Structure 1
Amino acid sequence: MIPLFRQLHHVCVVVADLDRAVAYYESVGIGPWFDYPKGGAYAEYDVPNAEASAAMRYKCADLDNVQLQLCEPSELDSPQRRFLDEFGEGVYHLGFETPDLARAEELGRGAGLGIVARGRRADGSGFCYFDTRAGAGVTLEVRKTQV
């Protein structure tokens, strides 16, 4: 059995103003920041609103032990936009690396976890956001990094 949530890859914080947030984090010594690498096209892509997903802005900083991601959702309807509107800025999801995304998704479904969004590239890389906010307090994601 592949452990689903063992290797933390990143923490994603939803923010209202990406440039302001990056400036603040830099002022306290966190950075450097880079644009989120969107990667290649997805062979499978099931998200609540593809246009809203494409319009989100991300910045990332690689720390010694984990990546920090900042996400500014557009005004279009998305889970991240709804989170920001309801709760304000804060941790939206925890992303965990997995060696086998298909197996991790299968294990999550087998454990009764619903899926919020998912995407898979031809090489097996991609992501799967589970519907865990009510129980975990945050959305839990599994991902396989594109090689």
Structure 2
Amino acid sequence: MSEPFQTLHHICLVVHDLDRAADYYQSIGLGPWHDFPPFSDFSRLDMPNLEGFLDLKYKFANLQNMQLQLCQPGSGDTPQKRFLDRHGEGVFHIGFSVTDSNRAEAEATAMGLNVLMRGRRPDGSGFTYFDTAEKAGGVTLMARSLPVAQM
């Protein structure tokens, strides 16, 4: 098995109402919830609709063995919004930790996966979403690496 899909980092649920979902999960012991950091530290964002992507709202909770993320799409056309409109709330993507985003992306594309979206920070860390939903049970797979300062 290749590196892009070896180490689970998070599961991301797309929801209609971010605060309502976070409150519910908090009430059953999942939390605390934190606002996702802004995407301003990314020097490169390759998205089908950048404005729509920047309008996404995220919260995350760090559990003992992984992170759970909630995503509320805005009104813009994004893969997350299309998923919510077609399927309702649910798992949009599964995120995996990698040591090198560019290498992981190259490995995945060599396996025949297409890039759906990507973001990179100046130090090369970042994320890549792969267009796997039609082939992976309706779930997008994502590889992400932390900034060097956070490793």
Please report how far the alpha carbon of residue 72 of structure 1 lies from its aligned counterpart in structure 2 after TM superposition: 0.2
Q: 1:108-123 maps to which residues of 2 (within 5 A)?
A: 108-123=108-123
Q: Which runs of 4+ in 1 moved over 3 A?
A: none
- Aligned partner of 1:106 in structure 2 is 106
Amino acid at match of 1:59: K
Amino acid corresponding to residue 143 of structure 1 in structure 2: R
Contact 1:6 1:96 in 2 (8 A): yes
* Corresponding position of 1:145: 146
Contact 1:40–1:121 under 8 Å retained in 2: no
Structure 2 counterpart SS, 1:123: coil
CA distance in 2, matches of 1:35, 1:79: 21
Tell me if structure 2 keeps the 8 A contact 1:113–1:130: yes
Query: Match for 1:80: what amino acid?
Result: Q
Query: Separation in 1 of the partners of 2:80 and 2:100?
Result: 26
Is the 1:14–1:80 Cα contact (8 Å) retained in structure 2?
yes
CA contact 1:96–1:142 (8 Å) conserved in 2: yes
Give the aligned partner of residue 91 of structure 2: 91
- The DSSP-based 3-state class of the residue aligned with 2:3 is coil
Give the structure-1-normalised TM-score: 0.95
Match of 1:68 in 2: 68
Listed as ranges, the gaps of 5+ residues in structure 1 are: none
Please report how far the alpha carbon of residue 43 of structure 1 lies from its aligned counterpart in structure 2 after TM superposition. Answer: 2.8
Instruction: Determine what percentage of the aligned residue pairs are the same residue.
Output: 52
- Residues 23-80 of structure 1, C-alpha deviation per residue, up to 9 Å, x if partnerless? 1101111100001123553232211111111111111000000000000000111000
State how far apart, in whole Å, the 1-side matches of 2:23 and 2:45 are. 32
| 1:134 counterpart SS class | coil
Separation (CA, whole Å) in 2 of partners of 1:40 and 1:70:
19
Q: 5 Å matches for 1:1-147? A: 2-38=2-38, 40-137=40-137, 138-146=139-147, 147=150
Q: Can you give the 5+ residue segments of structure 2 that lack an aligned partner in the other structure?
A: none
Alignment: residue pair count:
147
Secondary structure in 2 aligned to 1:20? helix
* Structure 2: distance between partners of 1:142 and 1:91: 16
